[in-house]
Structure 1
Amino acid sequence: MKKLGLAVIGTSWITAAFLSAARECDAYEILAVYSRTLDKGQTFADANNIPKVYTDLDEMLKEDAIDVVYIASPNDMHYPQAKQAMLAGKDVIGEKPLVSTLREMEDLVRTSIVTGKFVVEAITLRHVPNLEIVKKALPRIGALKIIRADMSQFSSRYPALKEGKVTNVFDPHHSGGALYDIGIYPISLVVSLLGEPLNFTYTANLHENGVDLSGIFLLEYPDTKAVCSFTKDSYGPNFAVFEGDQGYLQIDGAPSRIGNVTLVTPQGKEELGVSQVENSMVYEAGVFANLFHTRDQAVYDTLTKHSLILARIMEDGRKHAGVRFVADTR
C-alpha cells in the first residue's frame, strides 16, 4: 500500500509525538512542516527529520505529494486550517479539539461532502485496544449505574498564569481551558461507550479572564450518571470506574490512554487489559491511514458523529459554565 504524503501544522511536543507514531505505523511519508516563523520551523524540522519547511500555508497546500495534513496549532486555528486544507484537496487529521463550536463542526462536515475529503479528530482513547475490552466487559458488571472518570494534569504554565502571563492553553482567544484541553478525554470515553447523553451540565472554576481551570461535567443517561472531572490548576489521580449492580470495572491511569483494565465482582478480581504501545497515537495514526486509503464511509460517519456530539455538548456545557470564546462570534 502506497504511503500517504504527510505534512504537519504546529511545532509542539504533540506534533513530534504524532510524527513518531506516523513513522512507527509505517503508513506515511513525512514531507513538510508549516510554522509561522522560519527559525522555529527549521529547528523543529531538523529535530524531526522533515525535509521541507513552509511559512506560507497556501504554498504548502499546493504541493501535490501531500495527501494528509495533521493540525496541532492553537485550538482556535484547527477549524479554519482544516477547512483550508480540505478545500486544497487534502484529508485532515485535526488534533483534539477539532473545533471550538458546533457550527464549525457542521461546516467541516459540509466541506467534506463538497470536497470528498475526510476530516477526523485525533482523540487517542478512541482507537486504543483497551477501549474495545472495556466495551465487551461492561455487560459483566450488570446494570451500569455510575461512571467516574477523572483526569488531572497540573499545567506547567499555571504558575505563570497566576503571575499574569496568559499562554495559549489558558487564553479564551485561542479556545483554551481545561475542558477543551483535557476534559474532552473523559467525556469522549463516556460518549464512546454510551453515546449522546440525554442531559448534561458543566460547573467550572474560572480564571479572571473567563477561561476554565478545572471543572466537573455531568452526563445523564436513562439509567446511568457519568461524572467527569478534570483539572489543570491542581494535582489529582487519573482513573475511570464503571459501577454496576454486579461489579465494577476500573481503568488505572489517564482516560486518554485507557491503561490497565480490572474487573471486580463478588466472585473475585480479573485483569482484562492488554499491553499497549507507549505512544498510543500509533493506533489512531494507523486507523486514519487505513481510512484514507479505503474511503470507508461507514467508519468515517461513525467518527464524524462522535465529533458532532462532542462539539455540541462541550460548547453548550462551557457556555452554561460562563466560558466564552472569541470563536463564538466568528
Structure 2
Amino acid sequence: MIRIGIVGTSSISERLADAVRAVDGVALGPVASRDGDRAREFADRIGAPGAVRGLDALLSAGEVDAVYLASPNAAHAQQVEAAVDAGVAVLVEKPATLAAAEWDGLVARAREQRVVLLEAMRTAYDPGIRSIAEILPRLGRVRRVSFRYEKRSARYDHVLAGEQTNIFDPSLGGSALRDLGVYPLHALVLLFGEPRRISGARVGIASGTDGLGSAIAEYDDLVADVAWSKITDTALPSEIQGEEASLSVDAIDAPRRLVLTPHGGASEVIDVEAPENPMIGEVERLRDAVRGADIASDQDRTASTLRLVDVLLQRPLR
C-alpha cells in the first residue's frame, strides 16, 4: 500500500483525498501544514491518520511513501527538493515550478536518486483528452486549434476590494496564466506537441499579476489560439478544426461532451464517461509510477508547458 501524505489544507487537497480513497493500492497518510491546528482539523475532516506541522516533520516521520504538494506555487521547488532528497515520491500541484529550468533541475535530481516526480496535471490523465486523441484522425489535417479556460474566481472580489489573496499574489507565484492557462497549454502540447513559437498578451489586475490573457502558438501546418481568465466567464467551447471535420469540446480541462461535425455532414455528439472526481487519473498515475511505470514523457510534457509559460511571462502586463 502506497501511503500518500498531503501538504496543504485547501479545497483541492480535499478533492485529492477523495481521489485517494477511490483508487486501489493507495491510502491516505498524515497531513502537513504550517499551522498545526489547521492540519489536525483537516486530517480529521478527510479521515487522514494523523497531522504534523510542516513538511520536514512529515518527511522525517517515516509514515509516507509519497507526498502531494498543494502549497503556494512559489514554495513548490523547495518542497519538491526536500521530498526527493528524503527519497519520497512527489505529486506536485500544477504549475510544478515557477520556471522550466527549475523543473528540469528537479527532474534530473529525482532521476539520479530514482525518486518519482510527477506534476498533478489532471488534464493529462483525463479520459476526455484520450477521447479527443482517438477522434483526431477523423478530422483530417488539423489546421486550427482554439483552446480556452476562462472562469471568474470568487476571490477576484477580494482584489476588487483592495485585498490580496494567494491565487492573485505574484509574490506567491499566483496568476491566471499559472492557475488556469496551463490547462489549455498542456492539452495543446499533449495533443499536438510543443509549438515552434508562441506569443501573447496578458491583462494585469490590481494585485500585480495577470487576470486574463491570450496566446497564439505556431506550428508548421496549423495555428492555435489559447485563452485563459480568472476575472471573466465564457460560454464558448474549445474547438479543433480539421480539413474534413471540426470537433467542439465543452471544457478542455475535463472534456465530457464532444461534438464532431464533418464537412457538409450532420453533427455527432460523443459523451465521455469519466469518474466524478477528475483527480483520480493523476493518483492512478502516481501509483503506477511508484510501481515502476516510465513517466519520462509525463515529465517532458510538463517541461514543454512550463517553457511556453516562461515565454508568455516575459511580456509585460497591459
Q: Same fold (TM over 0.5)?
A: yes
Q: 1:238 to 1:62 in 2, by over 3 A?
A: farther
Match of 2:254 in 1: 257
State the shift of 1:51 in Å. 1.7
User: In the alignment, is the contact (CA less than 8 A) between 2:32 and 2:54 conserved in 1?
Assistant: yes
> Which residue of the other structure, out of 216, 219, 236, is the alignment partner of 1:218?
216
Q: Hey, what's the Cα distance between the residues in 2 that align with 1:59 and 1:178?
A: 32
Matched, 1:310 2:305: yes
What amino acid is the match of 1:58? D
Q: How does 1:135-284 map to 2 (within 5 A)?
A: 135-237=133-235, 239-252=237-250, 254-265=251-262, 266-284=264-282
Match of 2:45 in 1: 47
RMSD: 1.4
For structure 2, which runs of at least 5 residues remain unmatched after alignment? none
| TM-score (norm. length: structure 2) | 0.96
Describe the superposition over 1:283-311 as per-residue Cα deviations: whole angstroms up to 9, x where unpaired.
22112211211x233xx110011011111
Q: Hey, what's the Cα distance between the residues in 1 that align with 2:54 and 2:63?
A: 17
User: In the alignment, is the contact (CA less than 8 A) between 1:262 and 1:269 conserved in 2?
Assistant: yes
What amino acid is the match of 2:119? E
SS in 2 for 1:32: strand
Q: Hey, what's the Cα distance between the residues in 1 that align with 2:201 and 2:8?
A: 31
State the shift of 1:94 in Å. 0.5
What amino acid is the match of 2:308? I
User: In the alignment, is the contact (CA less than 8 A) between 1:202 and 1:321 conserved in 2?
Assistant: no
Q: How does 1:15-34 map to 2 (within 5 A)?
A: 15-34=13-32
Describe the superposition over 1:91-143 as per-residue Cα deviations: whole angstroms up to 9, x where unpaired.
10001110101121011112112211011011111111221221121121112
User: In the alignment, is the contact (CA less than 8 A) between 1:202 and 1:318 conserved in 2?
Assistant: no
% identical equivalent positions = 27
What amino acid is the match of 2:38? K
Work out the number of aligned pairs and report it.
317
State the shift of 1:322 in Å. 4.3
Q: Hey, what's the Cα distance between the residues in 2 that align with 1:133 and 1:269?
A: 17
Q: Hey, what's the Cα distance between the residues in 2 that align with 1:24 and 1:239?
A: 30
User: In the alignment, is the contact (CA less than 8 A) between 2:159 and 2:206 conserved in 1?
Assistant: no
Match of 2:79 in 1: 81
User: In the alignment, is the contact (CA less than 8 A) between 1:121 and 1:307 conserved in 2?
Assistant: yes
Q: How does 1:107-126 map to 2 (within 5 A)?
A: 107-126=105-124
SS in 1 for 2:63: coil
SS in 2 for 1:268: coil
User: In the alignment, is the contact (CA less than 8 A) between 1:148 and 1:241 conserved in 2?
Assistant: yes
SS in 1 for 2:267: strand
Moved over 6 A (4+): none
User: In the alignment, is the contact (CA less than 8 A) between 1:150 and 1:237 conserved in 2?
Assistant: no
Q: 1:238 to 1:39 in 2, by over 3 A?
A: farther
SS in 2 for 1:272: strand
Q: Hey, what's the Cα distance between the residues in 1 that align with 2:62 and 2:236?
A: 43
Q: Hey, what's the Cα distance between the residues in 1 that align with 2:243 and 2:144?
A: 10
What amino acid is the match of 1:53? A
For structure 1, which runs of at least 5 residues remain unmatched after alignment? 324-330
What amino acid is the match of 1:264? T
Q: 1:319 to 1:16 in 2, by over 3 A?
A: same
Describe the superposition over 1:262-291 as per-residue Cα deviations: whole angstroms up to 9, x where unpaired.
211123222334211111111221122112
SS in 1 for 2:254: coil
